[in-house]
Amino acid sequence: MTHRRIGQIELLQLLGDWSSGSGPLYKQLADAIRKLIDVGDLRPGTRLPSERALSSTLAVARSTVVAALDHLKQTGYLDSAPGSGTWVRALRGFNPAGGVLTPADTVGRNPLYTRLDAPPSDDLVDFTVAVVDATPSVTAAIDRASRELAASLDGSGYFPSGWPRLQEAVAAWFTRRGLPTEPSEILITNGGQQAIMLVAAAYVQPGDPVVMETPSFPGALDAFRMLGASVRAVPVRPTGLEADDVVEAIDARRAVIAYLIPTYQNPTGRVMSHLERKRLARYLDSRSTVLVEDEAMVALTLEGDAPPPPIAAYHDGGLVIGSASKPFWGGLRVGWIRGRSDLIRRLRHYKMVFDLSSPILPQAAACLMFEEMEEILAYRRQQLLEARATLEEGLSGLLPEWTWERSSGGLTLWVQIPEGSATELAQLAMRHGVAVIPGPFFDPQALHDTSLRLPYVLPPDEIERGIARLAEAWNRYRGLPALRSIRPA
């Protein structure tokens, strides 16, 4: 049997919050691996990382890993041989998948998703999801939309392109920001994530090259991986994305799509300059690559001037993705794609296959929120500024060795630890009651292992509690013997 080795980060994605239960750690680890084998996520012949590597990545003693693997060997789940490592046995029970593990097998395993799907816990401070709660104005808009719709329901309720009033509102918003737009150039989607999936489904075939930033939004990375794309990463510079980097990557692989987050980049918060946007637009005019511009965070300016206009203001062939979830409320699940009418018609066909039509009530509520956008954003700005100040004060006071760059907008800090592995630290932090996402989950090559994304969307008192726990985990991590052999990052 051919043994395909699974990487440490791949296995960590599959394991998820394996240590959040009760009982001895070795038993929790053995149970988590066993479940992966039972459902076919770890397939026969898959070779596991070494005991030393697992011990380091999972931030546990090597004896814990040895005990877990020995237990699985005794129960018939694993095999091993000197010099060949440890691998998954072919089992008599349910193991439907067969074959070898592919990158798409870890789709949806990012902590961003596993925490969304996890049962609520009052004991855990969750820094994994950058989603805002509903403000009083948002709640009022949902209530008003419900009452108004109830009095005027007629027809099938199917609007494949989106509710016309919301299309008009989104088009007017783009026009005010320097990108003249007609309602026919807007497709309403079920959140920004569906918008990304639609674009990926419409343009990407297995093996097609796609250019993305590193680090970038894990939801987009998973969407392109699910379609079998070959991802080429470009760096986000300290001053933001640079046009030359993007064009060099596009030309090297003849990329079909360049997916970029030029404004309040997720996770770094950086902003691509006005000049670099114009330069990139000029370069793209002579290339067939489709520019996909993710503007999910664009409305969340916290200080200073508003960001530059979209790159699409200077490049007619691009697509712009937006979302009401970030500025208004995560549960609204309303997003949109802006593009030329012919591109929108193509994407509409794909969307009808996905869901026929988006629900009307959330669209009606979002339409009312656009009418009161300034009031909602002013409230949101004060809320986020207070939360960000609490997060920064906590980091400065309890974790003074950590560093970050403050962005003028967005929802997150991209924090650097001075030594060791953020992946290992995240494992230890979970056992101290705080969930964080380490940098490798934002990178197609699992790099950035000295970085953590920390959102400032929780109430201030919960942020304080989370940072205190994170500091406890960091102090415990620095005391681990294995860290002494790691050079400062």
Give domain limits for the chain: 4-101, 125-134+375-485, 136-372
Which CATH number fits the domain 136-372, given the four candidates 3.40.640.10, 3.20.20.140, 3.40.50.300, 2.40.50.140?
A: 3.40.640.10
Element (H, E) at 209: strand 209-214
Running DSSP on this structure, what letter comes out for residue 23? S
State how far the Cα of 427 lies from the Cα of 115, in Å rounded to an integer. Answer: 14
Residue 198 has pLDDT above 70, yes or no: yes
Please give the DSSP secondary-structure letter assigned to residue 403: E
Mean pLDDT value of segment 380-392: 98
**φ and ψ at residue 278, rounded to 5 degrees:** -65, -40
Does 4 score more than 50 pLDDT? Answer: yes
Residue 130 confidence (pLDDT) above 60:
yes
| pTM (global) more than 0.85 | no
Predicted local distance difference test score (pLDDT) of residue 457: 97
Mean pLDDT along residues 20-47: 85
Per-residue pLDDT, 10: 85
- Pairing outcome for strands 85-88 and 78-81: antiparallel
For residues 57-70, average pLDDT:
90
Architecture of domain 4-101: Orthogonal Bundle (1.10)
d(CA 295, CA 181): 16
Domain 125-134+375-485, CATH number (from 1.20.1250.10, 3.90.1150.10, 3.40.640.10, 3.30.930.10): 3.90.1150.10
For position 488, what pLDDT does the model report? 35
The amino acid at residue 98 is G
Kind plus residue range of the DSSP H or E element containing 380: helix 373-398
Does pLDDT of 485 surpass 50?
no
